[in-house]
Structure 1
Amino acid sequence: MKEVVGSPGTWSGLLLRTGQCAFAGASIGVMVSALGFSNYTAFCYLIASMGLQALWSFGLACLDVYALKTKRDLHNPVLVTATLSFAAACSSAGVAVLFERDVQFCRMYPQFSCSRYELSVVLAFMTWSFVATSSLVMFWLMASL
């Protein structure tokens, strides 16, 4: 079987999964440190989605480590959470844009951490980009079977 960069059980796959987990964790950390995030459903959805993504990516990274240690081939279809991550990032980005540009919520209430909301959304999109790359690799591998 042809080895594709980022495929499960390879060093590049392990790096992708580690990146997914790290950026999802960072997105959660930044959002939780912002004041008042729990008042908005989109931000709570982002935390839930990134939490699921971090757990899923950590599990896949552990599987990659196992495959690398035992020299096993993992070229099997694996479920991905790319759609969930993208939906959460988009809905949170929409709320962040609404707060910042449309209703000037961040100017009227400076005690809210709008910059942290925005940073968390950026980290969520970076997580999604790693997940999307993994998804494309998996689709490529399934097509080559």
Structure 2
Amino acid sequence: MYLMLKLHTDLFLGLPGYLFLGLMGLLLVASLVSGVVVYTPFMRKLDFATVRAERSRRLKWLDLHNLLGIVTLAWVLVVGVTGVINTLALPILMLWQGGQLAEMTAPYKDAPPLQRLGSLDAALATARRAAPDMEVSFVGFP
């Protein structure tokens, strides 16, 4: 499963693979949007999901093709946009680590390593006491 995950998320290329797949997702979304923009004027003459079965066989297959395309469009658009958003997760995390996290940990840069690690549960309890109205959704490990 790890092999499939790495292939699916970054093509075994790390950040360049993420960005390449993000670009491919953007191109997919752009092609879907442009297809809708180009094809909409032709479909205004017909009611939605019309299949002209009484006409020629070729026209019936064209209408079925169009129906399948419009039904598939919504799902593929959601998958494409979600994929683009997911590919932005790693660069955003890297920017956060190089920016805000680096600033927060700067005072401890030259400190010796901890001899005894703290408890994650204790850290979460401290955070909940400091901000009781908020909910912890992310724990960042430097």
TM over 0.5: no
Quick check: which one's helix share is greater? Answer: 1
TM-score normalised according to structure 1 size: 0.40
Q: Greater relative contact order (Cα 8 A, min sep 6): structure 1 or 2?
A: 1
TM-score normalised according to structure 2 size: 0.41
Which structure has the larger Rg over C-alpha atoms? 2
